[in-house]
Amino acid sequence: MKLNLQNISGADAIFQALMAEGVDTIFGYPGGNNLPIYNSFYDYRDKVKHILVRHEQGAVHAAQGYARVSKKAGVCMVTSGPGATNLITGIADALLDSTPIVCLTGQVTSPVLGYDAFQETDVVGISMPVTKWNYQITKADEIADTIAQAFYIATSGRPGPVLIDITKDAQQEMLAQFNYAPCERIRSYHPYPKPNSVEIEEAVHLINTAKKPLIIVGQGVLLSGAQDEVMALAEKAEIPVAATMQGLSAFPSSHHLYQGMVGLHGNVAPNKMTNSCDVLIALGMRFDDRVTGRLDKYAKQAKIIHIEIDPAEIDKSVKTSVAINSDLKVALRLINKQIQANQHTTWLKYAKEFYELEKEKIFSNDLHSTENQLTMGEVANVLSELTNGNAIIVTDVGQHQMATARYYSYNSTDSWVSSGGLGTMGFALPAAIGAALWEKKRQIIAVIGDGGFQMTMHELGVLMQYNLPVKVVLMNNNFLGMIRQLHDVYYESRDFFGELQNPDFCKIAEAFSIPSYRVSERHNLRDAIQKMIDHDGPYFLEAMVAKINNVFPMVPTGAAVDEMLFEEPKKVE
């Protein structure tokens, strides 16, 4: 939307620009050096919602959650100094997970920049390595072009975080004339490369002649909105499909071609198939080390087709046979026009054998344990059954994350929100808040471990204040579970640092006026989860799970992706 206004302050100009970009929600925390913006906010409070978080890290994670479900840029706004530096973890998280967010930070007045004024920090310099783009505004007449460019850069091509640092005097300065138009082009920035027709034909040939093809879907499928195109390719050529962790829900878990998750704690079949396929079709994924395992043993037998919008990711870790630098949806539509119908019955039977192996060795223990204590897997599985795999699952980082990735069935697209590349503990609760501010029809369920929960549990105050219907499932094993598992596997269980003496989490939830329940018995689990789902408003469910409940299979450090552990190595006496 274009604007032409007269005699407005820089702070008013900021809001006019944000509303022109369609911003309806800002996650923020006021302070001295963004107070002029907050003063203007009063006049726009009926048009733009402000969510007061309890810590600035909560603001950036909430903006991430909002962006992940809305497909719009999430916006957060904080003050200078510690307010700005508290965003850095979330900004780095957003960069690695390709999440479009726009971060607005207040700054000291321009005459005292560089003089170590109160709460002055060079946030532009600090954030440069972890932003897609950043800029410091010192004059009000820079506001229009800077904000327009920020939203364009954040949301185009491979999405990512941008940061705008705005000095206090620029917020207060008056503009005789304010003109605003959304950015449509930046010289030397080409976010949508066109696919090469020769590469398209080479990819088609490899797919049509493949005997053992495998598709791996990454988050790029979700970001491009290419789910239908992936489905069309998989079904017409009968190609099995696997997902990276961040690609979960890009292809329905219940589909007969779906093989599961690849990588560190992935399923046996897709990990084995990776090192057995003859053509590997990588769609919108970056060959992260948690996916590949040992690189010099990764899919060496296969011709690799990589379709990726970010040229920096092509041939970075894994050398490809055919690389297509393009938006995924555009490239797949061209490929699908030339794909021949096919069948791969023997190849799919091969995958089935490994599914049965995993079912025998792993599923029975995780989902049908004979032990008295609950397992993380069965909590995730019952949650999946009672929501029909249609909730939006927001996880923190750790064993509960892996268990939920493995045992929740993602039958609706855009159902998985988690911290992947950075692995940020404390992500889930504020990200679920952001998701809930956009999504009104689907259940938002935050699945969190007791370690990560204590990093941002103060954000329960946001659930209380705004009565957001986020359901929190805390898997409590009184331990930093993933750290303990790594000690078990690599260091002969020499761990005495990770055991947690936890508070009464249900009392904490109730102190925030959030109903709570603690479940520890298997026969009560289903009813407890159903009660949570049926509750109107926020709810806190604490599941007391076994302290020793390791997530297997696991690809050990230095091993190939198909060299999985099914249990802890035997200890040397």
Active site residues: 56, 118-119, 168, 482
Please state whether beta strands 174-180 and 3-9 pair in parallel, antiparallel, or not at all (unpaired). Answer: antiparallel
Query: Where would I find the beta strands (DSSP E) of 186-298?
Result: 213-217, 241-243, 258-261, 279-283
∠ CA 490-496-500, nearest 5°, is: 115
How far apart, in whole angstroms, are the C-alpha atoms of residue 526 and residue 371?
A: 17
Cα(96)–Cα(219) distance, integer angstroms: 11
The crossing angle, in degrees rounded to 10, of helices 522-534 and 376-387 is: 40
E strands in 366-498: 392-395, 416-417, 444-449, 470-476
Strands 161-167 and 133-137 turn out to be: parallel
Report d(CA 238, CA 215) in Å as an integer.
10
- Give every strand in the sheet of 49-52, ordered side by side: 49-52, 25-28, 74-78, 101-107, 161-167, 133-137
Residue 251, helix vs strand vs coil: coil
The closest of 227, 83, 104, 226 to 170, measured between CA atoms, is 104
CA distance 18 to 24: 8
Both tokens of 280, joined, read: 């590997």
| 466 CB burial (10 A radius; 0-12, 13-18, 19+) | middle
**CB atoms inside a 10 Å sphere around CB 553:** 20
Distance between CA atoms of residues 216 and 420, nearest Å:
16
Pairing of β 539-544 and β 279-283: unpaired
Q: How many CB atoms lie within 10 A of CB 16?
A: 21
Pairing of strands 241-243, 392-395: unpaired
Contacts of 463 (CB under 8 A, 6+ apart): 433, 470, 512, 514, 538
Q: Where would I find the beta strands (DSSP E) of 367-439? A: 392-395, 416-417
